[in-house]
Amino acid sequence: MLLLWLPIIVLVSATFSSALAFPGERHCKTQEVRKEWRKLSYHQKARWLDAVKCLSHKPRSRTFVPSRFPTDIVKYNHSGSLYDDFVFLHMEQNHWIHATGLFLPWHRWFVYQFTETLRKECRYEGVAPYWDWSLDSKDVHGSSFFKESGSVSGLGGWGDPNKDYTVQDGALSESSGFALSYPAYHHLRRNWTIQPYIAGHAVYPKIFPDAYVLANSTFTPEKVRHLTRSHVGDFIGFQSDIENPEHMHSAVHVMTGGDLGGQCPASAPSPCGGGQTFSVNDPLFFLHHGMIDKVWAVWQGKHHRNAVAFAGGSVQDPTYVGHPTGEAPWLHLNSTIPTDGLFPSTTIGGVLSISRLCYSYE
120-161 pLDDT tens trace: 999 999 999 999 999 999 999 999 999 999 999 999 999 999
pLDDT digits (tens, 9 = 90+) for 247-264: 999 999 999 999 999 999
Backbone angles phi, psi at 336, to 5 degrees: -85, 140
Please answer whether residues 329 and 13 qualify as being in contact, where contact means their C-beta atoms are separated by less than 8 angstroms. yes
User: Which amino acid type is present at position 113?
Assistant: Q
As a whole number of angstroms, the distance between CA 144 and CA 326 comes to 38
CB-based burial label for 24 (10 Å; 0-12, 13-18, 19+): exposed
Mean pLDDT across the chain: 92
What DSSP designation does 259 have? T
User: Which amino acid type is present at position 284?
Assistant: L
Please tell me whether the peptide bond between 283 and the residue prior to it is cis, using omega within 30 degrees of 0.
Answer: no
Please answer whether residues 310 and 333 qualify as being in contact, where contact means their C-beta atoms are separated by less than 8 angstroms. yes
pTM of the model: 0.93
Q: Residue 26: what pLDDT?
A: 63
Percent of the chain's residues with pLDDT above 70: 93
Whether residue 21 has pLDDT greater than 90: no
Query: How many CA atoms, within 13 angstroms, populate the side-chain half-sphere of residue 53?
Result: 22
Average pLDDT of the residues in 207-221: 95
Q: Residue 276: what pLDDT?
A: 82
Handedness of CA 257, 260, 265, 268 (dihedral sign): negative
Q: Residue 29: what pLDDT?
A: 87
